[in-house]
Chains A and B, each alone.
Chain A
Amino acid sequence: MSDVRVEELLIAAIAARLQGLRHVAVGASSPIPGAAALLARALSGGRLRVSILGSRTHTCFTDGGRELFDCAAQGRMDAFFLGGAQIDGHANINLTAIGGYPRSRVRFPGAFGSSYLYFLVPNVFLFTLAHTPRVLVPKVDFITSPGVSAPNVYRPGGPRALFTNRCVFAFDRELGRFALDSVHPGESAASVRENTGFAYREPDTVPVTPTPGARELALVRGPVADAVAEVYPDFAARVFSSADAA
């Protein structure tokens, strides 16, 4: 594990969850999900279609900004990624503001497409590299997008899992709450509990998130890194250029 960065571990862990899907889309400012989608495509032998917003090479859309959303509403998109300045135990996400609204102490960019895609894309994966009690909270300050909906609300989509720098949580849509799925090397059930502000289910024995194999690592550090550099140059320079030395 010592020579595998947590970013690379996450890229491989997310890619494993994308196997067998047809079309995965990745939004703005999501380099790790973007890299994971590209790795999953490489592992699928090119069968997985990947749309990365903001990339010229990796988007197929030709009908303007609306097309991604229309395509999702039709069920033509299997997976999408969302982050959150706050995420709570019911998978509500806050991308809007903390400390009051509309006049807020801390303001974030905004909802982007989340308040729509969270309802419509069957497999939404939540993602954060800031696994702390301040981010994973009992209740978000502002529900930009709700994790669960009343039974009469049209909702073919929703959260499947939450990937963090410490662990993977699976989301149970029936119960409307998370369960600890695996902890990354160096973490434990206790360290995750200590750093998580919301309640979740914890199995008696918690598996360790698998370390990527040689084939995955070679793909991540080679063709995936090159492709990621086009969309997220700063990220690629930071993570991949130093990976060998880490």
Chain B
Amino acid sequence: MFCTLDELVARIPDGASVALPPDYSGCAMAAVRGLMARRARGLHLIGVPQMGFQGDMLIGAGCVDTVETAAVTLGEFGLAPRFSAAVRGGDVRVLDATCPALHAALQAAEKGIPFMPLRGIVGSDLLAARPDWKVVDNPFGADDPLVLLPAIQPDVALFHARVADREGNVWVGVRRELMLAAHAARDTFVTVERIQDARLLDDEAMAAGTLPALYVSGIAEVPEGAWPVGLAGCYEADRAALREYAEQAATDEGFVEWMRHHVTEVAAA
């Protein structure tokens, strides 16, 4: 259960499908840099339901084969430059989705059922580009087309949280999409700010936001593990560092330089 950051990263195999949360949730940025330093390859990223800096970074580092998401965005810092470049070059396969479709498909996996129906989407080019999504007539109605989404069971859910206890229970608080991702995934790997002695489930207030160890395969204690995107309630985003990334990643050379400074040299040190 408890391991070092390097051991945790090593347990995410090349070719794995990896569920990742948006920048405002809990992002295991140190682990993502670990995947980049290890030169992970062939990953299938799954946005829960969209992804930000970590998605762009992994794509830029050549770790990603497929990205299945409602968006890849740097938010206020603009378009995701490495994602855009990879799409332009045909270097990454994109399975475009919409936020509730990803939530619903993960919920199907959570429930152990093969698919989930969803409203909307009909008539969009999103649907046209997804032969794996089917439109059926509502069996309880008449002439009522509904989209069916196959369940998504990620190989891995990877995120960062504030605290875990010695049993491996993890507190995610209000960020319940992290719970959804963990329930749906085969393995969940979490980095945390700290590991505490007090059992999370013994405190009623904390238990409500706690992911039980039942779902957790590995935990590494990584203080400031969400830098630079920040962790709600713990520390703010490092806006200067995010802006630096957005600017440098705008060009191939700039991204290589950013990688050298923030990933390769750090890993070698």
Contacts and interface: CB of A to CB of B under 8 A. Distances in A.
A188 to B, nearest CB: 33
B180 A109 contact: no
A109 B72 contact: yes
Interface residues of A, number: 50
Interface in A56-109: 56, 61-66, 69-70, 73, 95-97, 101-109
Contacts, number: 149
Q: What DSSP secondary structure best describes chain B's contact surface?
A: mixed
A146 interface: yes
A112 B107 contact: no
B114 to A, nearest CB: 19
Nearest to A99: B88
Given A29-B75, A69-B103, A143-B123, A111 B232 contact: no
Interface string B68-88: 011111011001100110011
Contacts of A70: 100
A66 B177 contact: yes
B100 A110 contact: no
Contacts of A146: 123-124
Contacts of A66: 100, 103-104, 107, 177, 180
B70 A144 contact: no
A113 B90 CA distance: 25
Contact of A28 (B73, B98, B174): B73
Contacts of A153: 122-123, 145
Nearest to A110: B71
B175 to A, nearest CB: 7
B54 to A, nearest CB: 14
A108, A109, A142, A143: most-surrounded residue (chain B CB, <10 A): A109
| Interface secondary structure of A, over-half rule | loop
Nearest to B176: A64
B99 A113 contact: yes
Interface string B240-253: 00000000000000
Contact of A65 (B73, B90, B99, B124): B99
A169 B48 CA distance: 34
27 contacts: A63-B176, A64-B103, A64-B174, A64-B180, A65-B25, A65-B177, A65-B180, A66-B177, A70-B100, A102-B87, A102-B93, A107-B87, A107-B88, A109-B50, A110-B50, A110-B69, A111-B99, A111-B126, A112-B50, A113-B70, A115-B101, A115-B124, A115-B126, A116-B99, A119-B121, A152-B143, A233-B76
Interface of A: 28-29, 54, 56, 61-66, 69-70, 73, 95-97, 101-120, 142-146, 149-150, 152-154, 232-235
